[in-house]
Amino acid sequence: MVQEKKLVDEVSGWLRAYDDGSVDRTWTGPPEVKFMAEAVPPHEEFIEAVATRDVTIDSNSGLRVRIYLPEQVLTAKIKLPIILHFHGGGFCISQADWYMYYHIYTRLARSVPAICVSVYLRLAPENKLPAACDDGYAALLWLKSLAKGESHEPWLNDHADFNRVFLIGDSSGGNIVHQVAARAGNLDLHPLRLAGGIPIHPGFVRAERSKSELEQPESPFLTLDMVDKFLALALPVGSTKDHPITCPMGPAAPAMEGLNLPPFLFCVAEKDLIKDTEMEYYEAMRKANKEVELLISPGMGHSFYLNKIAVDMDPNYAAQTTGLIAGIKEFVNKH
């Protein structure tokens, strides 16, 4: 007799976890937005001035990255900065090749211009934290091995400036920016230089609900259900949201003063559910005398720029997305 597996948890159309440990990530929300969570195959020819390639960077673990190469490399007299990207998804969903990232990171690669390297992070609950942070750190160490000539990836070795490496992450990927930057601060990365960190709407929260969580509107990219359930699935067993990965400004985390961090561009959306705790992090950075700039997107919700439908249809979304990209470009060009 076949045992029926039982549903243990379900998260807002994104994920269903079963009692046998299996996870179903088939999108069950509105079908008209499904395309944003579909994979875009790599293409080594330039399409809209960007080529993409998937590379396995660790044959033992199978860790992969997607590289976005802007066509400007063919005419640029100088090598381009590297933007190392960590995708969002509450540590539980999404992939580096999803259309929602493809549409914005091809644009960022063209606009800066820079070579973007996006990591295929391991997902929870199958791989609980700090697995995704370890993958982000491993990707930075791979870039160091390229800079030292210990391994070779032609798109990067031929066209990248390893003296200007920036970490960027959306939502939970912003948490990984902090973790990887903090770890890298204890390391001699030479000849690579970590030039900056760009957390965008990072998933910084506390066990206790913030005022903005209670008052701000939920959005397609962030509901309280997602905040609570994704983090419960992702954090180590027995942990609360006060864990250092989700609350790096809290008492359980290493003191900010003791961290050797590069300059940060900290991006916040005015209507983000978790804006209050994000601002606590920003204030903790300032109090610790870290170099941190604040970029606020007025009237916008969490990860608004990933919503291709809204960016195409709503002039305000489009303008705020353009503003965000301009802010990132200015920060990268300054460092």
Write down the domain spans for the chain.
Answer: 43-334
pTM greater than 0.85: yes
Residue with structure tokens 């960007």?
50
Q: What confidence category does residue 4 fall into, taking pLDDT thresholds of 50, 70 and 90? A: confident
Mean pLDDT of all residues in 54-60: 97
Per DSSP, the residues of 12-59 read TTTEEEETTS-EE----S-GGGGGGGSBPPP-SS-BTTEEEEEEEEET
Mean local confidence (pLDDT), 298-318: 96
Confidence of residue 1 (pLDDT cuts 50, 70, 90): low
| Domain covering 43-334, topology | Rossmann fold (3.40.50)
pLDDT at residue 295 is higher than 80: yes
- CB neighbourhood size of 20 (10 A): 9
Supply the residues annotated as catalytic. 171, 272, 302
Q: What is the mean pLDDT of residues 81-104?
A: 97
Mean pLDDT along residues 170-187: 98
Contact 50, 84 (CB under 8 A): no
Summarised one tens digit per residue, pLDDT across range 128-159 is: 999 999 999 999 999 999 999 999 999 999 99
Q: E strands along the chain, which residues?
A: 7-11, 15-18, 23-24, 50-58, 63-70, 80-86, 115-119, 160-170, 194-200, 264-269, 292-297
120, 10, 147: which is closest to 54 by C-alpha? 120
